[in-house]
Amino acid sequence: MIPPFDLKRQYAALKPEVDAAIADVLERGAFILGAEVAAFEREFATYCGVSHAVGVGSGTEALHLALRACDVGPGDEVITVAHTAVATVAAIELSGARPVLVDIEPRRATLNPAQLEAAITPRTRAVILVHLYGCPAELTPILEVARQHHLRVVEDCAQAHGAVYKGQRVGSWGDLAAFSFYPTKNLGAYGDGGAIVTDDPTLSERLRLLREYGWAERYVSHSKGLNSRLDELQAAILRVKLRHLDVWNARRRALAQQYSTLLRDSGLQLPFEPLDGAHVYHLYVVRTPQREALRAFLGERGIGTLIHYPVPVHLQPAYADLGYRPGSLPETEAAAAQVLSLPLYPELREDEIEAVCNAIRAFPNARCA
């Protein structure tokens, strides 16, 4: 069996470091917003190339609080994509704003800069661009349009820890950036967790108030906030893992290159490797019109695959009230019908990739097209 991911392998490699970090927290007996969170925030901000990081409860809450810190609320609109985890759009609705969804650029599978201007209205306050699958979005033209219209830019970096665009890490380009530390991410905790990073000290201070009831001092709320705090155990684990992140990302890139070499003549549409940045392959996503048949064929041979994402947000039943219909976002819908995520994680072995590729080449519908 080759699973789509295997967190037990990673823990086995890190067990002494992780166990020691957890034991230290347990012995200190402080579990919420203590020394580990403060240290991780400093270290992660430095890693991202920004001045401030604020640890929160999840990636969804990171996006929600980022919008709240920018005073986005009821009556406002936020532009993003439908080819993303539902969390991106859920965070917009949590802020009280209305999501406005635009189509993707098919190679990167990220927000198409050419579609941004037409989506802006007098109510637009922000753009959330998603660095999907580990591939950096095309930031320069998106930022140019956003700045012309005085819009806030929030980077959704939930799948792109360590990715690079034009020599600079993603997360350091927009006004704020939201990260998820869900366990399967390139940098994952052993539970939920998230962070917002920014170079703006005013936004950083707002975020620190928002994440804990608006407290500038304990039990005194200076603004209306909520409870969204990264805990000490998760921060300690993340500090251990952060030290390994660049090595893991390099390994992901090497394994992705092996896939791309072995699948060159398979007929699959392979992931796009941007010339202006570095993809960190949170997922290795191929496309084929024969997706369901290929997935079943691989499953019968013990190869696990996933679909990110089978139903775009604008066609989800819960978001029918946004008013989109089939055909509204053709590139998004085409991707949703064809994408397939193959197994990829730093601990995956080269012989396992060969086995996956051999199975794909044995697929009876030759060349998968």
Decide which of 183, 209, 242 is a domain's last residue: 242
Please tell me whether residues 226 and 330 are part of one structural domain.
no
Residue 1, in any domain of the structure = no
Given a contact cutoff of 8 angstroms between Cβ atoms, the answer to whether 167 and 151 are in contact is: no
Q: What is the DSSP letter of 97?
A: P
Of 132, 153, 148, whose CA–CA distance to 72 is shortest?
A: 153
Say what the pLDDT of residue 217 is.
87
Segment 91-121, tens digit of pLDDT: 999 999 999 999 999 999 999 999 999 999 9
- 342 and 315 within one domain: yes
Same domain, 200 and 303: no
The enclosing domain of 255 has a CATH number of: 3.90.1150.10
In a domain, 199, yes or no: yes
Q: pTM of this prediction?
A: 0.97
User: Using one digit for the tens of pLDDT, what is the confidence trace for 256-300?
Assistant: 999 999 999 999 999 999 999 999 999 999 999 999 999 999 999
CA 326 to chain centroid, in Å, comes to 25
pLDDT digits (tens, 9 = 90+) for 306-338: 999 999 999 999 999 999 999 999 999 999 999
Indicate whether 280 belongs to any domain. yes
Residue 361, domain member (yes or no): yes
Residue 2 lies in a domain: no
Q: Are residues 148 and 32 in the same domain?
A: yes
Same domain? 41 vs 153 = yes
- pLDDT for res 76: 98
Amino acid at position 130, single letter: V
The partner residues of 110 in beta bridges, in order of sequence, read 105
Q: Ramachandran region of residue 29, left (φ > 0), alpha (ψ -120 to 50) or beta?
A: left
Among 74, 113, 92, 95, which Cα is nearest to 156's?
A: 92
Residue at 49 is within a domain: yes
CA angle 113, 196, 229 (to 5 degrees): 145
- State which of 194, 210, 242 marks the end of a domain: 242
Task: Count the Cβ atoms, other than its own, within 10 Å of residue 258.
Answer: 16
What is the C-alpha separation between 24 and 354, in angstroms, rounded? 41
At residue 240, what is the residue type?
A: V
pLDDT for the residue numbered 367: 57
Is residue 366 scored above 80 in pLDDT?
A: no
For residues 84 and 151, membership in a common domain is answered with yes
Helical spans, DSSP H, in the chain: 7-28, 35-48, 59-69, 86-94, 116-119, 139-148, 201-210, 232-242, 245-262, 291-300, 330-338, 350-361
CB 257 within 8 A of CB 94: no
What is the domain count for the chain?
2
User: What pLDDT, on the 0 to 100 scale, is given for residue 368?
Assistant: 57
182/330 same-domain check: no
Which pLDDT tens digit goes with each residue over 2-50? 999 999 999 999 999 999 999 999 999 999 999 999 999 999 999 999 9
pLDDT digits (tens, 9 = 90+) for 225-255: 999 999 999 999 999 999 999 999 999 999 9
Would you say residue 369 has pLDDT above 70? no
Residue among 117, 76, 116 nearest 98 (CA): 76
Question: Do 190 and 273 share a structural domain?
Answer: no
Domain contains 113: yes
Whether 142 is covered by a domain: the verdict is yes
Q: Are residues 136 and 169 in the same domain?
A: yes
The answer on 171 and 294 residing in a single domain is: no
Residue 176 CA to residue 50 CA, distance in Å, equals: 10
- 193 with 71, same domain: the answer is yes
Last residue of a domain, which of 242, 259, 283?
A: 242
Using 50, 70 and 90 to split pLDDT, how confident is the model at 214? Answer: confident
Q: Which structural domain range is residue 103 located in?
A: 7-242
Query: Does 88 share its domain with 178?
Result: yes
Please give the span between the terminal C-alpha atoms of the chain, in angstroms, as a whole number: 26
Residues 6+ apart with CB under 8 A from 270: 259, 260, 263, 264, 286
Nearest to 54 by CA among 189, 226, 185, 176: 176
Supply the CATH number for residue 131's domain: 3.40.640.10
